[in-house]
Amino acid sequence: MSTSPASTLRDLFLEMEARLEREPETVQGEIVLGVYLMSPRPRPRHGGIQINLGSELRQRFGISKGGEPPDWLFVIEPEIRSERTFSRLVPDAAGWRRSTTGWPDLDKTPVTLVPEWVAEVLSPGTAATDRGPKLEAYGAMGVGWVWLLDPDARRLETFANVRGRMVPGPAFGDGQSFTGDPFGTVPIPLDRIFV
The pLDDT tens digits for 21-36 are 898 877 788 999 999 9
> Residue 148 forms beta bridges with which residues?
120, 157
Cα 67 to the chain's mean position, in Å? 29
Please determine, for residue 5, whether its predicted confidence score (pLDDT) is greater than 70.
no
Taking the C-alpha atoms of residue 16 and residue 3, their distance in angstroms, rounded to an integer, is 18
For a pLDDT cut of 70, what percent of the chain falls above it?
Answer: 96
> Residue 73 forms beta bridges with which residues?
96
* Cβ–Cβ < 8 Å for 93, 50: yes
Amino acid identity, position 99: S
Pairing verdict, β 145-150 and 117-121: parallel
Q: What is the mean pLDDT of residues 82-103?
A: 96
Q: For residue 58, give Cα distances in angstroms to 1, 86, 93, 154.
A: 53, 30, 12, 21
Query: What integer pLDDT is reported at residue 44 of this predicted model?
Result: 81
Query: What integer pLDDT is reported at residue 7 of this predicted model?
Result: 67
Q: What is the mean pLDDT of residues 53-76?
A: 91
Q: How far apart are the first and last CA of the chain?
A: 58
Q: Which residue has the higher pLDDT, 195 or 74?
A: 74
User: What average pLDDT does the chain have?
Assistant: 91
* Cβ–Cβ < 8 Å for 21, 1: no
Q: Which candidate, 115, 127, 107, places its Cα nearest to that of 89?
A: 115
Please determine, for residue 1, whether its predicted confidence score (pLDDT) is greater than 50.
no
Query: In this structure, which long-range contacts are made by residues 36-41, counting pairs with CB atoms below 8 Å and at least 24 apart in sequence?
Result: 37/129, 39/125, 39/126, 39/129, 40/123, 40/125, 40/126
Q: Which CATH superfamily is domain 40-192 in?
A: tt1808, chain A (3.90.1570.10)
Amino acid identity, position 5: P
Q: Burial, 155: exposed, middle or buried (Cβ in 10 Å; 0-12, 13-18, 19+)?
A: middle
Confidence of residue 41 (pLDDT cuts 50, 70, 90): confident
Q: What is the mean pLDDT of residues 91-114?
A: 95
Query: What integer pLDDT is reported at residue 75 of this predicted model?
Result: 96
